[in-house]
């Protein structure tokens, strides 16, 4: 059984975020009102979202446990245990003037189960389903968060470069506890990457550089973020990025980490600066 976690620094960050909830969750700035789509944030990852002159900072910790590895014809089992915390409704210039926000406004925990099928040596598909809860500490609202989909990863050896093709279909949404608000969406993601082995080692491990691109098509417009009366909807987005990978995985306090990188997602007047851990897909 293998447990997948982020580096120790992010575990420390998570502890600090949870501590902040207990200390400051009841604080609220009445000057502005903001709402976030829990489901979209849960499936995006760690990053800073920007819209107009305001931003949302999301910490996504995709904890997981590989209960059983896929050994054809037997499928593998993976328990998904992601935690997402969000700071919303602050101005970008506030980061330089006063540092990062000191109050969590949203927190979600959306556990799920994934079946891992290795159809061929280079081809893996993974259907999954998630169900959890999200809470807005500023408004004291609670929502049920759900999602289901299937993803496919195929890798080809092109001489000295590895080419990876990724596809995912996702249906996700959230419903408030009083059933007064429901927001769901479906998304088709298509992406690819090129990975090139580097001529040096790091920490006695082979190293590689990966560049990637992804396109996200939403079959119905997603209302991701709303500041007061201004709503920001998403129909199409793109992402480009780069990661530094190692083989075998780097280990930080017995925590496996295959790579680390940065990504930039853009489209529909919303930009996202992402931290990428492991595969970008």
- The closest alpha carbon to 45, from 34, 54, 31, 56, belongs to 56
Beta carbons of 153 and 166 less than 8 angstroms apart: yes
Res 232: pLDDT: 63
Beta carbons within 10 angstroms of residue 166's beta carbon: 19
CA distance 236 to 259: 27
Residue 228 has pLDDT above 50, yes or no: no
Res 179: pLDDT: 66
Residue 253 has pLDDT above 70, yes or no: no
pLDDT in tens, 145-184: 999 999 999 999 998 899 999 999 999 988 887 666 677 8
| Dihedral sign, Cα of residue 260, residue 262, residue 268, residue 269 | positive
Which of 17-31, 214-228, 241-255 comes out lowest in average pLDDT? 17-31
CA distance 270 to 235: 11
Q: Please report the domains of the chain, with CATH numbers, ordered by start residue.
A: 2-277 (2.40.128)
Mean pLDDT of 82-108: 70
CA distance 235 to 242: 24
Mean pLDDT of 86-103: 62
Mean pLDDT of 66-81: 93
Q: Please state, for a pLDDT cut of 70, what percent of the chain lies above it.
A: 72
Beta carbons within 10 angstroms of residue 281's beta carbon: 20
Residue 267, phi-psi category: left (phi > 0), alpha (psi -120 to 50), beta (remainder): left
Res 5: pLDDT: 43
Q: What is the band of 89 on the pLDDT scale with cuts at 50, 70, 90?
A: low
Instruction: Tell me the whole-structure pTM to 2 decimals.
Output: 0.80
């Amino acid at each position: 059984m293998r447990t997948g976690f982020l580096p120790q620094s992010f575990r420390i960050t998570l502890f600090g975020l949870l501590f902040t909830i207990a200390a400051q969750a009841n604080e609220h700035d009445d000057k502005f009102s903001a709402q976030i789509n829990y489901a979209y944030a849960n499936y995006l990852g760690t990053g800073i979202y920007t819209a107009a002159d305001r931003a949302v900072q999301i910490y996504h910790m995709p904890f997981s446990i590989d209960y059983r590895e896929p050994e054809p014809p037997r499928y593998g089992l993976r328990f998904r245990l992601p935690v997402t915390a969000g700071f919303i409704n602050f101005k970008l210039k506030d980061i330089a003037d006063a540092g990062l926000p000191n109050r969590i406004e949203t927190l979600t925990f959306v556990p799920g189960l994934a079946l891992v099928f290795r159809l061929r040596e280079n081809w893996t598909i993974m259907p999954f389903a998630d169900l959890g809860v999200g809470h807005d500490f500023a408004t004291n609202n609670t929502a049920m968060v759900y999602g289901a989909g299937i993803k496919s990863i195929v890798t080809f050896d092109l001489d000295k470069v590895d080419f990876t093709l990724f596809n995912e279909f996702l249906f996700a949404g959230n419903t408030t506890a009083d059933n007064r608000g429901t927001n769901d969406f479906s998304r088709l993601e298509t992406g690819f990457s090129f990975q090139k082995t580097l001529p040096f080692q790091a920490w006695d491990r082979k190293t590689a550089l990966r560049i990637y691109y992804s396109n996200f098509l939403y079959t119905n417009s997603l209302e991701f973020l709303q500041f007061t009366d201004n709503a920001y909807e998403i129909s199409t987005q793109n992402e480009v990025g780069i990661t530094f990978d190692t083989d075998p995985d780097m280990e930080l306090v017995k925590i496996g980490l295959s790579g680390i990188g940065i990504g930039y997602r853009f489209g529909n007047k919303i930009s996202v600066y992402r931290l990428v851990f492991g595969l970008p897909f």
